[in-house]
Amino acid sequence: MGEAGDTKNESGEKMIDYPGAVDMLLPTNYSFDSCAPLSIVIHETGGDMTLESVHSTFLATMRSTTFAVDLDGRVAQYVPLVRGAGGNCCPDRDASGNLLCDPYWYAYIQQYGNLNLCTISIEHCNNSTNSLPMTQAQTDASNKLILWLCQRYKLNINHIKGHNSINPRSKPDCPGTFSFSQLATYLQGGSMGIPYGWKDDGQTLTAPNGVAVRLGFRDYVLSHGWDAGNYPLAPEQGVTLLEASNPGLGGGDQQVFRWALLGYTQLRGVFLEWCGQELAFVRGQLATYYPQVKTLQAEVDSLKQQLAATQQPTGVDPKTVAERLSTIGSAMSNYNNAIQQLVTQPL
Ligand SMILES: [Zn+2]
């Protein structure tokens, strides 16, 4: 085992999801049958200083978290992402049973009962008092893992909480030294916001399909928590009309991504274009032009037949045919101009 992907191995067991994670999957009965990936809960181990030690503790206690991050930067996966791990159960309550947890959790508790069914949990190796500063390797590995999860499940910093948000009374020191402000800065981007699996050399951001994103478009992608699956379909291009649905915008530079459209004008800088609005407009135009093109095609077919007939002794007058063809030609060229305007970005 070891190769990542949410596939199953030959014997039908679930494999690890996170690329590069050490496969320490626990027996299936250590976790719950489902997990809605709606939040991430951060833990520190309170004594287990390595992935292996965390693994032993889990095996001995039948507890689990989804992941752990070692001081040396290694990441282990203990529970597949489709299953709920066992680290986030049971919010603290006062003597009368009132919840003491962060109100963030109220709606989740109401819907899921057990928070393990809607959270991904990440342990971070630390000492018995969770007072050891995280190492750089551990911080880097944790950041990358969390970014990967955020991109995979469309989460952001607001969905990432400490264990003590669930158990302020029983686990006030979990996590101890984890820095949420550091994480927030990392997730916001800068040079760190490289979508998972993309490459950046400081000048050029390259998606896994080999298409480059440069200059302002690169800055935009890096600073907007860009989804790793949102590849550019083609390099950026200068276009005379950015949006057929909004001609007032004029021309500029444009790059088309799988589900986004980035535009640039001198006036506005880089901005996210309204690609849904544009798509609706272009579809409307197609609906208008398509029947007209069909009519012209029928006319051409009929003329071809008549031309073929001219080879026979009883043909039509070639002059008439030539005139009708030239009429169709000029009609086609009108449609071409209209379509040219729509297709501002040949892909
Ligand atoms: Zn904890």
Average pLDDT over residues 294-303: 89
Q: Residue 23 C-alpha to ligand 1 middle, in angstroms?
A: 21
Inside any domain, residue 80: yes
Q: Assess whether 183 and 225 both reside in one domain.
A: no
Provide the residue range defining the domain that includes 234: 199-273
- Looking at the DSSP assignment, which residues form a beta bridge with residue 42? 122, 162
- In Å, what is the CA distance from 85 to each residue of 5, 246, 346? 18, 49, 47
What is the rounded CA–CA span in Å between residue 89 and residue 282?
Answer: 50
Average pLDDT over residues 111-125: 96
Q: Residue 279 C-alpha to ligand 1 middle, in angstroms?
A: 47
Q: Residue 165 C-alpha to ligand 1 middle, in angstroms?
A: 10
Average pLDDT over residues 323-341: 75
First to last CA, the chain: 39
The percent of residues above 70 in pLDDT, for the chain, comes to 90
Q: Are 37 and 120 in contact (CB under 8 A)?
A: yes
Q: How do residues 27-59 score in pLDDT, each as one tens digit?
A: 999 999 999 999 999 999 999 999 999 999 999
| pLDDT over 90 at 12, yes or no | no
Domain boundary among 188, 208, 241: 188
Record the pTM: 0.57
Q: Residue 122 C-alpha to ligand 1 middle, in angstroms?
A: 9
DSSP annotation string for 90-129:
---B-TT--B-S-GGGHHHHHHHSSGGGSEEEEEE---TT
Average pLDDT over residues 283-310: 87
Q: Assess whether 231 and 290 both reside in one domain.
A: no
Residues 287/289/290/296 CA torsion (nearest 10 deg) = 160
Average pLDDT over residues 146-156: 87
Average pLDDT over residues 117-144: 96
| pLDDT over 70 at 192, yes or no | no
Q: Residue 119 C-alpha to ligand 1 middle, in angstroms?
A: 13
* pLDDT band (50, 70, 90) for residue 2: very low
Q: Assess whether 314 and 166 both reside in one domain.
A: no
Inside any domain, residue 236: yes
What is the rounded CA–CA span in Å between residue 128 and residue 124?
Answer: 12
- Looking at the DSSP assignment, which residues form a beta bridge with residue 76? 22, 68
pLDDT at 318: 73
Q: Which is more confident, 176 or 337?
A: 176
Q: Assess whether 157 and 179 both reside in one domain.
A: yes
pLDDT at 223: 77
Domain boundary among 169, 188, 207: 188
Q: Assess whether 220 and 170 both reside in one domain.
A: no
Domain boundary among 211, 242, 273: 273
Q: Residue 290 C-alpha to ligand 1 middle, in angstroms?
A: 61
Amino acid (1-letter code) at residue 108: Y
Inside any domain, residue 231: yes
| pLDDT over 70 at 313, yes or no | no
> Nearest 5 degrees, angle CA 148-CA 151-CA 153?
105
Q: Assess whether 223 and 316 both reside in one domain.
A: no
Q: Which stretch of DSSP H or E encloses residue 22?
A: strand 22-23
Burial of 291 (0-12, 13-18, 19+ CB in 10 A): exposed
Q: Assess whether 176 and 240 both reside in one domain.
A: no
User: Coil, strand, or helix at residue 23?
Assistant: strand
Phi-psi map region of 318: left, alpha, beta (phi>0 left; psi -120 to 50 alpha): alpha
Q: Assess whether 27 and 128 both reside in one domain.
A: yes
Inside any domain, residue 302: yes
Q: Assess whether 269 and 297 both reside in one domain.
A: no
Q: Which is more confident, 117 or 267?
A: 117
Domain count, the chain: 3
Q: Assess whether 176 and 250 both reside in one domain.
A: no
Q: Residue 32 C-alpha to ligand 1 middle, in angstroms?
A: 18
Look at 150-164, 178-192, 333-347 and tell me which has the smallest mean pLDDT. Answer: 333-347
Inside any domain, residue 66: yes
Q: Residue 85 belongs to a domain with what CATH number?
A: 3.40.80.10
Inside any domain, residue 7: no
Q: Residue 105 C-alpha to ligand 1 middle, in angstroms?
A: 16
Q: Residue 172 C-alpha to ligand 1 middle, in angstroms?
A: 9
Provide the CA 90 distance to its chain's centre, in angstroms: 31
Inside any domain, residue 6: no
Q: With b meaning 16 or more CB within 10 Å and e meaning fewer, what string describes 95-132?
A: eeeeeebeeebeebbeebeebbbbbbbbbbbbbeebeb
Inside any domain, residue 112: yes
Q: Assess whether 101 and 166 both reside in one domain.
A: yes
* pLDDT band (50, 70, 90) for residue 5: very low
Q: Residue 274 C-alpha to ligand 1 middle, in angstroms?
A: 43
Q: Assess whether 183 and 326 both reside in one domain.
A: no
